[in-house]
Amino acid sequence: MSGSAHSTVLSGARVVLPTGTVAGGRVIVERDRIAGSAHEGAEIVDLSGHWIVPGFVDVHNHGGGGASFTSGTAEEVLRGVRTHREHGTTTLVASTVTGDLDELARRAALLAELTQQGEIAGVHFEGPFINPCRKGAHKADLLRDPDPAEVRKLVDAAHGTARMFTLATELPGGLDSVRLLAEHGVIAAIGHTDSTYDQTRQAIDAGATVATHLYNAMPGLEHRAPGPIAALLEDERVTVELINDGTHLHPAMLELAFHHAGAHRVALITDAMDAAGFGDGTYHLGPLEVEVKDGVARLVEGGSIAGSTLTLDTAFKRSVTVDRLPVESVVQAISANPAKLLGRYDEVGSLEPGKYADLVVLDAAFDLKGVMRRGEWIVSPLS
């Protein structure tokens, strides 16, 4: 399709649009965009019995295909990106983990180049400014309080491609760091936190707009100490990340988030590490050794969950078939909402004329059968 005005019409499928699902609908692709009408003689691809949904948007992803976004070469990072594209993620933000500040700055510069080339959608810094008592799979002796000057150093190192920064906002310097991020157009995310309900509300008022993997690495809900979860769920300004892999969350907690926050405020993420799409074995997440067994990643030392091996096609299928969420709600959470969060909804996140032709084809059982990115098949439904 590239390099010509040739149109392709994907016809006969159930097409999920912002206005609802159209049975027997069609999507017209011209070059790298979705078009409003087809040229005469357009190629017709019959996808009857399938679903067509927007390409998935992952705002929290550490790697895949055996490659780490935190430590791999540019070629290795691209291998990880390709792995997730093959599973439907057509827009991806690369996440780092806690490390030495200078090393994180160098990593940001490499990821910035890949962002400028259009391979990834920016950089997410997760750590080192997080709470030691909620560190999860982050190395304790590298953690530090969120000094705004150091936060600024990493933002500057990303050369305008920093999209999100996860902080424990209750720590000294946390609120000032949130304000600095907001001033520079970088999403401030509350995560790996031991914050109280009131402290969390203060951080939201200061400009924090995302809950990093809600429920995980933060205090649980209690009747007299609601903590950060209640504050994050109740505030319309906040988008809540959820890892729906069957390990990180009980289905009741997923339902609670969709019910209380609403589908319009949920972003399904992977929090994937190297093993996603690659298999069991021994890996590293930053400087920490991780053992993956039966698809579950845990630190060798201590046994904490260390990210996931999730891909978003699996999250989509699980959300619809196991959790019984409406397809349209899942599309919101896996495509539209994260695209809006990144300020990219004019380009991706829905199937509308003028946007990039980023889409996923699913069969009746919600198994992935095709992936198109920028008008080119990554996975062809015809093969």
Is 280 annotated as catalytic? no
Residue 184 known to bind ligand: no
| Token representation of residue 198 | 């009131």
Burial 84-97 (b: 16+ CB within 10 A, else e): bbbbbbbbbbbbbb
CA nearest neighbour of 193 among 235, 138, 119: 138
Among residues 271, 274, 313, 358, which one is catalytic?
A: 271
CA nearest neighbour of 57 among 289, 312, 352: 312
Residue 206 known to bind ligand: no
Distance CA 51, CA 360 (A): 8
Element spanning 200, H or E: helix 197-206
Distance CA 202, CA 66 (A): 40
| Spatial CB neighbours of 172, under 8 Å, sequence gap ≥ 6 | 145, 146
CA nearest neighbour of 221 among 260, 188, 171, 270: 260
Residue 241 known to bind ligand: no
3-state secondary structure of 102: helix
Residue type for position 2: S
78: left (phi over 0), alpha (psi -120 to 50) or beta: alpha
Residue 305 known to bind ligand: yes
Distance CA 161, CA 153 (A): 13
Residue 291 known to bind ligand: no
DSSP assigned state of 27: E
Residue 126 known to bind ligand: yes
Residue 250 known to bind ligand: no
| Pairing state between β 56-61 and 20-30 | unpaired
Residue 264 known to bind ligand: no
CA nearest neighbour of 373 among 358, 354, 355: 358
Residue 131 known to bind ligand: no
- Which residues fall in the annotated binding site? 126, 137, 192, 213, 216-217, 224, 248, 305-307
Binding-site residue numbers for substrate are: 137, 216-217, 224, 248, 305-307
- Residues making up the annotated binding site for Zn(2+) are 126, 192, 213
Annotated catalytic residues are: 271
